[in-house]
Chain A
Amino acid sequence: MVLAIRTGAVDITYKEIFISLAKAFGFHPDAKIEPIQEGVFMQIRLPRVLLCVIVGAGLSVSGALMQALFRNPIVEPGLIGTSSGAAFGAALVFVVGKNFFGEYSHLLGVMALPASAFVFSLIATTLVYKISTSFGKITVSIMILVGVAINALMASCTGFLSYIARDPQARSITFWNLGTFSGADWNSVMLVYAVTIPSIILVLRYSKALNALLLGESEAGYLGINTDSLKTKVILLNTFIVAIVTSVVGVIGFVGLIVPHILRMIKSSDNRFLIIGSTLVGAIIMNLADMVSRVIIAPAELPIGIVTSFVGAPIFIWLLLRQKGGKGGFYA
Chain B
Amino acid sequence: MLEVKDIIYKIEDKTILNNLSAIFKPGELNMVIGPNGSGKSTLLKIICNEITHYSGKVLYDGGVLSKKDKLNIAKKRSVLSQQSELSFPLSVEEVVLMGRYPHFNLYPSVNDKEICLLALKRMNMEDFRHRNYLTLSGGEKQRVHFARALAQIWEQPEDTCRYLFLDEPIASLDLNYQHEFLRITKEIAEQNTVVVAVIHDINLALQYADKAILINMGNVIAKGSPAEVITTENLFAVYGLKCRILQNPDSSFQYFIVE
Contacts and interface: CB of A to CB of B under 8 A. Distances in A.
A207 to B, nearest CB: 9
A223 B152 contact: yes
A214 B50 contact: no
A269 B81 contact: no
A205 B106 CA distance: 8
B75 interface: yes
B98 A212 contact: yes
A218 B71 contact: no
Contacts of B73: 224
Nearest to B141: A328
B85 A216 contact: yes
A218 B50 contact: yes
A223 B100 CA distance: 8
B175 interface: no
B38 interface: no
A208 B101 contact: yes
B91 interface: yes
B79 interface: yes
Interface string A37-80: 00000000000000000000000000000000001110000000
Nearest to B67: A226
Contact of B74 (A222, A330, A331, A332): A222
A330 B73 CA distance: 34
Interface residues of B, number: 31
Contacts of A208: 101, 106
B9 to A, nearest CB: 16
B110 interface: no
B134 interface: yes
Interface in A202-222: 205, 208-209, 211-212, 214-216, 218-219, 221-222
A215 B106 CA distance: 19
B251 interface: no
A329 interface: yes
A270 B94 contact: yes
A331 B134 contact: yes
B90 A222 contact: no
Contacts of A212: 98, 101
Interface string A170-214: 000000000000000000000000000000000001001101101
A175 B1 CA distance: 65
B84 A332 contact: no
Contacts of B134: 328-332
Contact of A269 (B70, B88, B101, B106): B88
A291 to B, nearest CB: 31
Interface string B137-164: 0000000000000001000000000000
A264 interface: yes
A218 B99 contact: no
Contacts of A139: none
A268 B70 CA distance: 28
Given A208-B106, A331-B134, A224 B71 contact: yes
Given A71-B88, A218-B48, A268-B90, 15 more contacts: A71-B85, A71-B87, A72-B87, A73-B87, A216-B81, A218-B50, A222-B48, A223-B74, A224-B70, A264-B88, A268-B94, A330-B89, A332-B89, A332-B132, A332-B135
22 contacts: A73-B87, A205-B106, A208-B101, A214-B90, A215-B86, A216-B84, A216-B86, A221-B50, A223-B102, A224-B70, A224-B73, A225-B70, A226-B67, A226-B70, A268-B89, A268-B94, A269-B89, A270-B94, A328-B134, A328-B135, A329-B87, A332-B132
Interface of A: 71-73, 137, 205, 208-209, 211-212, 214-216, 218-219, 221-226, 264, 268-270, 328-332
